[in-house]
Amino acid sequence: MANRNVPIPRRQLYIGGEWREPVKKNRIPIINPATEEIIGDIPAATAEDVDIAVEAARKAIARDDWGSTTGAKRAKYLRAIAAKVLEKKSVLATLESLDSGKTLFESAADMDDVAGCFEYYADLAEALDSRRKIPVNLNSDSFKTYVLREPLGVVGLITPWNYPLLMAIWKVAPALAAGCAAILKPSELASITCLELGEICREIGLPSGALNILTGLGPEAGGPLASHPHVDKISFTGSGPTGSKIMTAAAQLVKPVSLELGGKSPIVVFDDIDNLDIAAEWTLFGIFANTGQVCSATSRLIVQESIASAFLDRLLKWTKNIKISDPLEEDCKLGPVVSAGQYEKVLKFISNAKSEGATILYGGKRPQHLKKGYYVQPTIITDVNTSMEIWKEEVFGPVLCVKTFKTEEEAIELANDTKYGLAAAVMSKDVRRCERFTKAFQSGIIWINCSQPTFNQLPWGGKKRSGFGRDLGEWGLENFLNIKQVTEYTSAEPWAFYKSPSKN
Ligand SMILES: NC(=O)c1ccc[n+]([C@@H]2O[C@H](COP(=O)([O-])OP(=O)(O)OC[C@H]3O[C@@H](n4cnc5c(N)ncnc54)[C@H](O)[C@@H]3O)[C@@H](O)[C@H]2O)c1
Ligand SMILES: C[N+](C)(C)CCCC=O
Ligand code: NA
């Protein structure tokens, strides 16, 4: 077992490069979901702190040490942050697990991804210097034109608890690479590592106000950020209902938003797969990794009838083999869900499925051997129909629902039978069929013969109720840039639209 005695730092809000007590001095307890114990507390920002942070961010943009930096200079800061994350990886990973219930293996992988994301955007920041000013040839003797890419300004980044630091960094890294000044509002359910990012920024000497970190409750800290007149954009990852509220607040000021919301993604398994075990493991990973608390979790298995019984049999064998334990234990593969509220919500989805007539093929309860903590067994639900809640709604927990199909057309119809459109997976060795599914799936992310692998270079986001805009890749950087066209009249001749008074 990893050292659970890693001390939880007692931090304040990170504003203008300094630790600053919230104006109202309120704090929120930190709960370890594996033990249900309070292990520390975080500061709770309110509108007053948001005003101070926005002011600090605006000053950073006006100052030469941030507002006039080149991409190459910003890349140095981003690389320094990445190096510090790797240096502190073991402590950061432990803190992430203590706070969110994520297995230590997954927390450590997240810290590698966090460092990789900063490094990736460091490269893009450098490349931005040569793309900052692009001439556009009009074939005109009278006009010279060019297009500028500039930082968008002060941006608000509001993020969820499922990958507490990684989801924040998907926004922080491109925002800083672009030269924006950012205000990060992580989830009140898991904020420790985002506050530690503040300490890292302080240590590497990031110019003050370039990144500000306000922990606190959604309506009290996130709300005032979304509606602040001097915040130029909100980039949000979280639930649909909160996304709607943020869009409504931003709409009053015609403030741009990008929304990465939830999903109910399908995984379609055909009977032509060579290896049931490989398909079973990807199916498992698609729903039980991070205890199912993944926006892109492939939570609806759509399996061809001819192999359904053999495939479910294999899935059960793999599922029974998952080690459920304290997330800091060696080889733990399924930790608790993040909070008491999430635990109740997941169990309610399971009991509703049962009352609607579905069969709990496996799991559905708290594991017998764990008396404390918000643990739910990995759960597989069959006899599902398309009007059931379990088919339609995002559970955000370790719950897979299963339907069978006979024909390809039926599989496509079932896959797209959702209000969401984040991700979709197909398992088949028929290349043409995979191409047909790639085209037919109504989503922003397609996985072929796998589920969940994610790369910094590729755009991340969805359609339908899964939101709009893209994180990651060059699209993630464009989110934080203002495009400005410049048109210069270069002719010595008069414009000659009006009659010249000198010719009267
Ligand atoms: N599409 C993606 O990339 C992606 C990634 C991770 C999570 N998610 C989604 O996030 C959800 C789970 O995360 P969550 O429970 O933290 O979501 P949530 O919507 O409850 O909270 C997200 C963030 O919004 C803040 N917030 C809450 N109310 C607010 C308000 N009125 N104004 C401003 N901010 C407010 C919260 O404090 C938190 O920081 C799931 O639906 C999941 O699918 C999506
Ligand atoms: C696919 N990953 C890497 C697990 C990231 C998912 C992000 C959303 O929850
Ligand atoms: Na927590």
Whole-number pLDDT of residue 132: 97
The answer on pLDDT for 503 being more than 90 is: no
Q: How many CB atoms lie within 10 A of CB 88?
A: 17
- 298 pocket-lining for ligand 2 (C-beta < 6 Å): no
For tokens 């140095």, what's the residue? 76
Ligand 1 probe mutation, 100, 157, 158, most atoms within 8 A of CB: 158
Is residue 1's pLDDT more than 70?
Answer: no
Mean local confidence (pLDDT), 241-252? 97
Closest residue to atom 20 of ligand 1, CA basis: 239
Task: Tell me the residue type at 56.
Answer: A
Helix residue spans in 265-416 (DSSP H) = 276-288, 305-320, 340-355, 389-392, 408-415
Instruction: Please tell me if the CB atom of residue 237 comes closer than 6 angstroms to any atom of ligand 2.
Output: no
User: How remote is the CA of residue 473 from the centroid of ligand 3, in Å?
Assistant: 30
Q: What tokens appear for 243 in the block?
A: 């996304």
Helical H runs in 140-239? 164-178, 192-204, 223-226
Among residues 221, 184, 209, which one has the least CA distance to residue 56?
Answer: 209
* 3-class DSSP assignment, residue 88: coil
Q: How far is the CA of 106 from the centre of ligand 3 (A)?
A: 16
Consecutive H or E run containing 149: strand 143-151
CB distance 196 to 498 below 8 Å:
no
Residue type, 392: K
Mean pLDDT of 87-113: 98
| Residue bearing the CA closest to ligand 1, atom 4 | 295
Rounded Cα distance, 110 and 106, in Å = 6
Which residue, judged by its Cα, is nearest atom 1 of ligand 2? 452
Give me the count of residues in the chain: 504
Instruction: Give the residue from 42, 27, 374, 17 showing the smallest Cα distance to 193.
Output: 42
265 lines ligand 2 (CB under 6 A): no
Query: Does 409 participate in catalysis according to the annotation?
Result: no
Q: What is the pLDDT of residue 492?
A: 96
User: CB-hemisphere CA count at 13 Å for 99?
Assistant: 34
Q: Which atom of ligand 2 is nearest to the CA of 260?
A: 8
Q: Give, in degrees to the nearest 5, the angle at Cα 380 between 379 and 386.
A: 125
**Residue 8 phi, psi dihedral angles, 5° rounding:** -90, 115
- Is the ipTM higher than 0.85? The answer is yes
Nearest ligand to residue 335 Cα: 3
pLDDT tops 70 at residue 474: yes
φ/ψ of residue 140, rounded to 5: -125, 140
Check: CB of residue 100 under 8 Å from CB of residue 164.
yes
Q: What is the rounded distance in angstroms from the CA atom of residue 234 to the CA atom of residue 255?
A: 8
Nearest ligand 1 atom to alpha carbon 243: 19
Residue 68 has pLDDT above 70, yes or no: yes
List beta partners, residue 379.
399
Q: For residues 201 and 176, what is the distance between their CA atoms, to the nearest angstrom?
A: 12
Helix (H) or strand (E) holding 108: helix 104-131
| Euclidean distance between CA atoms 214 and 197, whole angstroms | 12
Decide whether any atom of ligand 1 lies within 6 Å of the 246 Cβ: yes
**Dist CA 435 CA 454 (whole Å):** 20
Q: Ligand 1 in contact with 198 (CB < 6 A)?
A: no
Q: Which residue out of 260, 389, 393, 493 is catalytically annotated?
A: 260
Residues 6+ apart with CB under 8 A from 40: 8, 9, 10, 29, 30, 192
Single pTM value for the model: 0.98
- Best substitution site from 96, 106, 112, 166 to test ligand 2's pocket, by max atoms within 8 Å of Cβ? 166
Distance of CA 342 from the midpoint of ligand 3 (Å): 12
List the residue whose alpha carbon is closest to atom 8 of ligand 2.
295
Closest atom of ligand 2 to 290 CA is 4
Q: For the residues 367-392, what does the mean pLDDT come to? A: 98
Average model confidence (pLDDT) across the chain: 97
- Ligand 1 pocket, 341 CB below 6 A? no
Query: Ligand 3 centroid vs 412 CA: distance in angstroms?
Result: 39
> Considering only CA atoms, which residue is closest to atom 37 of ligand 1?
218
- Local confidence band at 82 (pLDDT 50, 70, 90 cut-offs): very high
Q: What is the DSSP letter of 206?
A: P
pLDDT at 235: 98
Half-sphere exposure of 225 (CA within 13 A, CB side): 34
CA of 466 to the centre of ligand 3 (A): 25
Residue to mutate, 113, 163, 169, 242, ligand 1, most ligand atoms under 8 Å from C-beta: 242
Mean pLDDT of the region 168-182: 98
Tell me the C-alpha to C-alpha distance, in Å, between residue 457 and each of 131, 170, 177, 441, 460.
18, 11, 15, 22, 9
Residue nearest to atom 6 of ligand 2 (CA): 294
Tell me if 106 sits within 8 A of 205, measured CB to CB: no
Distance from the CA of 239 to the center of ligand 2, in angstroms? Answer: 14
61 closest CA partner among 235, 233, 212, 209:
209
Return the best residue to mutate from 161, 239, 265, 290 for the ligand 1 pocket (most ligand atoms within 8 A of CB). Answer: 239
DSSP state of 501: G
Question: Counting beta carbons within 10 angstroms of the beta carbon of residue 441, is it exposed (0 to 12), middle (13 to 18) or buried (19 or more)?
Answer: buried
Q: How many Å from the N-terminal Cα to the C-terminal Cα in the chain? A: 94
Alpha carbon distance 43, 26 (integer Å): 6
- CA–chain centroid gap for 274, Å, is 33
Distance 265 CA to ligand 2 centre (A): 13
Residue 296, ligand 2, Cβ within 6 A? yes
Q: Hey, how many other C-beta atoms are within 10 angstroms of the C-beta on 398?
A: 28
Distance 495 CA to ligand 3 centre (A): 66
Closest CA to 231 of 182, 277, 292: 182
Inter-axis angle of helices 408-415 and 431-440, nearest 10: 40
Q: How far is CA 179 from CA 57, 161, 169, in A?
A: 11, 26, 15
Please, which residues have CB within 8 angstroms of residue 355's CB and are 6 or more apart in sequence?
Answer: none
Closest residue by Cα to atom 10, ligand 1, is 238
- Please check the confidence at residue 269 and state whether its pLDDT lies above 80: yes
Tens of pLDDT, residue by residue over 384-441, are 999 999 999 999 999 999 999 999 999 999 999 999 999 999 999 999 999 999 999 9
Q: 452 in ligand 2 pocket by Cβ < 6 Å?
A: yes
Residue 260 alpha carbon to ligand 2 centre in Å? 11
288 lines ligand 2 (CB under 6 A): no
Q: Which residue has the tokens 């009290």?
A: 220
CB 78 within 8 A of CB 121: yes
| Number of Cβ atoms within 10 Å of the Cβ of 457 | 9
